[in-house]
């Protein structure tokens, strides 16, 4: 059935994530396939408020799949948090002839999409965040690349750590979630993994693991700490003061958001971008495209924003039983 849509807007909002460009490319190419004009919206919802948009075509997205970041730029809009800002964005959508908006980002981005939909704008969300904390989706664009970036950095750090027989406390991003930290911790064979979702006991979670490692003849120790615990420096200081260990802190930081996306992020982003356009063409709105039970599917935004996401219990058990 031929689509009645004329123009579809696409934006990226909040923190950037590797793979966002692949999603943008998929949106643009799918629009072109269906004779719909794709409109790039710059700097998230700020672009809608200030009509900072550009028409795109297939050529405009050539070669962007391998690039990190987002060609549309991203921002968090304080103005869009107001009723006046949302109304202005919705009015500009109508003035610009944008029949639907695809918003790539996290929970804040989806809340913004929900607000737009209240003013008659068709919206679809795509999860793009290295934190992998979108409750309705088992996977978010950028997670795999961020994990690989952190793993590569820690593997290099381990070389010097072993040479000096040091203890290293490494902080991993993830906002208030420990999904990235537990994934990285298992991958690098951490001595201990400290997560915001679980109570922290220095004696049980760090000292016992280090003592067990020492008993086995280990002279270097790696402690992975999720940023949401806000305890990285405290743990390092206690390792020095209470255990007498030569301890250094490494905060990998925003480098985890950059870099060329992994194959998994490129493919997942492409599938999600394609599905988002198909949903709008089918007349659907106020949905999040997500990855559940090995399938690309959708969940209503209202339902998705009430869901919570805990750690994978099996992953956590592996992390606690296999570390040391």
Question: Which domains, from first to last, does the chain contain?
Answer: 7-142+261-304 (3.40.50.450), 145-257 (3.40.50.460)
DSSP label at residue 141: B
* Higher pLDDT among residues 153 and 315, named by residue: 153
Known catalytic residues?
131
Q: What is the pTM assigned to this prediction?
A: 0.95
Instruction: Give the pLDDT band (50/70/90) at residue 296.
Output: very high
The position carrying tokens 């969300």 is 125
Handedness of CA 228, 229, 234, 239 (dihedral sign): negative
Alpha carbon distance 158, 281 (integer Å): 50
Reported as a pLDDT band with limits 50, 70 and 90, residue 1 is: very low
CB 259 within 8 A of CB 68: yes
What is the reported pLDDT for 324? Answer: 62
35-64 pLDDT, tens digit each: 999 999 999 999 999 999 999 999 999 999
- Give me the residues paired with residue 248 across strands: 168
Give me the residues paired with residue 104 across strands. Answer: 12, 126
pLDDT tens-digit series, residues 22-34: 999 999 999 999 9
């Amino acid at each position: 059935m031929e689509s009645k849509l004329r123009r579809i807007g696409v934006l990226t909002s909040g923190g950037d994530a590797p793979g966002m460009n692949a999603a943008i490319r998929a949106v643009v190419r799918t629009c072109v396939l269906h004779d719909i004009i794709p409109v790039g919206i710059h700097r998230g919802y700020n672009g809608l408020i200030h009509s900072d948009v550009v028409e795109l075509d297939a050529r405009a997205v050539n070669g962007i799949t391998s690039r990190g970041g987002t060609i549309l730029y991203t921002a968090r809009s304080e103005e869009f948090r107001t009723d006046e800002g949302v109304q202005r964005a919705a009015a500009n959508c109508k003035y610009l002839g944008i029949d639907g908006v695809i918003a790539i980002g996290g929970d804040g981005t989806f809340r913004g999409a929900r607000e737009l939909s209240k003013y008659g704008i068709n919206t679809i969300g795509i999860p793009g965040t290295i934190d992998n904390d979108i409750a309705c989706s088992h996977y978010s664009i950028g997670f795999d690349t961020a994990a690989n970036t952190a793993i590569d950095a820690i593997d290099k750090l381990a070389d010097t750590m072993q040479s000096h027989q040091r203890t290293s406390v490494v902080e991993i991003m993830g906002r208030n979630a420990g999904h990235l930290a537990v994934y990285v911790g298992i991958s690098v064979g951490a001595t201990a993994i400290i997560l915001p979702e679980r109570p922290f006991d220095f004696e049980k979670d760090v000292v016992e693991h280090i003592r067990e490692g020492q008993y086995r003849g280990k002279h270097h120790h790696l402690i992975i700490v999720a940023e949401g615990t806000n305890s990285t420096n405290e743990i390092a200081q206690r390792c020095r003061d209470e255990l007498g260990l030569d301890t250094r802190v490494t905060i990998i930081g925003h480098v985890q958001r950059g870099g060329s996306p992994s194959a998994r992020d490129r493919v997942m982003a492409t599938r999600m971008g394609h599905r988002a356009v198909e949903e709008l063409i089918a007349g659907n709105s106020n949905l999040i495209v997500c990855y559940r039970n090995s399938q690309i599917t959708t969940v209503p935004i209202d339902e998705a924003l009430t869901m919570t996401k805990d750690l994978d219990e099996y992953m956590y058990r592996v992390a606690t039983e296999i570390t040391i």
